[in-house]
Structure 1
Amino acid sequence: MSRRCELTGIGPMVGHNVSHSNIKTKRRFLPALSPASLQSDSLGQTFKLRISNAALRTLDFKGGLDTFLLGAKDEQLSPRALKIKRQVKAKAAATAVAA
């Protein structure tokens, strides 16, 4: 399983451990990922995604999963998140035509 956020695309970064004597050794900074059940308002479904804690805070700020996905770039989303985004767009287009 990859250590990458499904919504923001954030992955591991590389840096150094620096000792007291200033010796540098390579290390990896892993993102803080957690499984989250996210509710889609327009679809009326719950989706389980593995997202970073920063993405969870961004979802709360933006107003939910649907608005976040509609504003997100396709390149940074995982294939599962892209599928959800397509479903949300189709539902929004169907309600716009019906209105």
Structure 2
Amino acid sequence: MSAHCQLTGAKPGFGYAVSHSHRRTSRRFDPNIQRKLYWLASEGRHVRLTLSAKAIKTVDAIGIEAAVARIRARGGKV
């Protein structure tokens, strides 16, 4: 599964893991991505979205209809 959020566009960040001796090795900071199923009443169907934890809270606040409109405005497929 891709580590990208459909609503917020959150994606992995990259940096270094720094040891006690200060040696650096590359690492990846992944967002907290979850797959969530929502009922989209306007289309009479379920939609499965790949969202970050922050985006799930956003959907709870603004509603699934507005969230799907934002995803489509960004050029995403739902």
With normalisation by structure 1, the TM-score equals 0.64
What amino acid sits opposite 1:22 in the alignment? H
Name the SS of the counterpart of 2:31 in structure 1.
Answer: coil
Residues 48, 71 of structure 1: alpha-carbon distance in 2 compared, 3 angstrom cutoff: closer
How far, CA to CA, are the matches of 1:43 and 1:72 in structure 2? 15
Q: Secondary structure of the residue that 1:37 maps to in structure 2?
A: strand
Aligned residue pair count = 78
Distance 1:73 1:47, change over 3 A: closer
Work out whether residues 7 and 70 of structure 2, in 8 Å CA contact, stay in contact via their aligned partners in 1: no
Aligned-pair identity in percent equals 32
Deviations 1:41-74 (A, max 9, x none): 3223211122111110111122x11122334573
Larger-Rg structure: 1
- TM-score (norm. length: structure 2): 0.77
In the alignment, which residue of structure 1 is the partner of 2:69? 70
Structure 2 unaligned regions, length at least 5: none
Which structure dedicates a bigger proportion of its chain to strand? Answer: 2
